[in-house]
A and B are shown apart, each in its own frame.
Chain A
Amino acid sequence: MFAAAAICILVVMALALARAFLGPTVCDRILAVNMFGTKTVLLIAVYGFLTGRPDFLDIAITYALINFIGVIAVLKFVEGIADSEQQPRPDEF
């Protein structure tokens, strides 16, 4: 039962990766990476249950947090680029 769930989550991760490669805009790629990270959290939890090792859930908790922080950091970076394009910084900066 857990193996089937793990395989289906892998299929979803493959679809998310496909969107990451296809995605026209940067935000599509970030969206795909965010979804991929969330599915990794679920995969770790299900795999922990599959192999009967409850300590996998600690990894899943930290991964969920770090994935979120990473996505927010990349988004701030992307917005920084958009800002610098709209108001170019003075040359002597």
Chain B
Amino acid sequence: MDLLPPLFPDLLLDLLSMALLIGGVFLSISGAVGVIRFPDFYTRLHAAGVTDTLSAGMILAGLMLQAGFTLVTVKLLFILIFLWYTSPVASHALARAAMHTRVEPAEAEVIDADQGDESSAN
């Protein structure tokens, strides 16, 4: 029975940090694909925002689990706090600058009331 307790916390930490890393990387890649594929600037801004905040948070949380209660975790917390505060401000400033330089949002396809019924009818 003594094999389990020492093995247990390390295995759990590794598995948990691996899951967090995989989640963070998946969000990051999906955000990057969104930045490439989205039609206009403002939707891309949203996709970039996803990668900046949550995926960075998950990756850094995964690293924190690996580091345990040391100074490294405090530094990772600082990075996380700085990223979570600065990236929304940067996104806001970007959107303001885009509005200022009159970047036009893409025109959504206008579906008329009657045409909508036809397409949903068939």
Per-residue CB contact flags for chain B residues 9-36 toward chain A (1 = under 8 Å, else 0) read 0000010011001001100110111011
B45 touches A31 (CB 8 A): yes
A34 to B56, CA, bound (A): 13
Number of A-B residue pairs with CB-CB distance less than 8 Å in the complex they form = 143
A73 to B1, CA, bound (A): 60
A25 touches B98 (CB 8 A): yes
Interface size on B, residues (CB 8 A): 48
Main secondary structure of the interface of B (DSSP, over half): helix
Interface size on A, residues (CB 8 A): 45
Least CB distance from A17 to B in Å reads 10
A12 touches B29 (CB 8 A): yes
B79 touches A64 (CB 8 A): yes
Least CB distance from A9 to B in Å reads 7
A26 touches B35 (CB 8 A): no
A38 to B24, CA, bound (A): 13
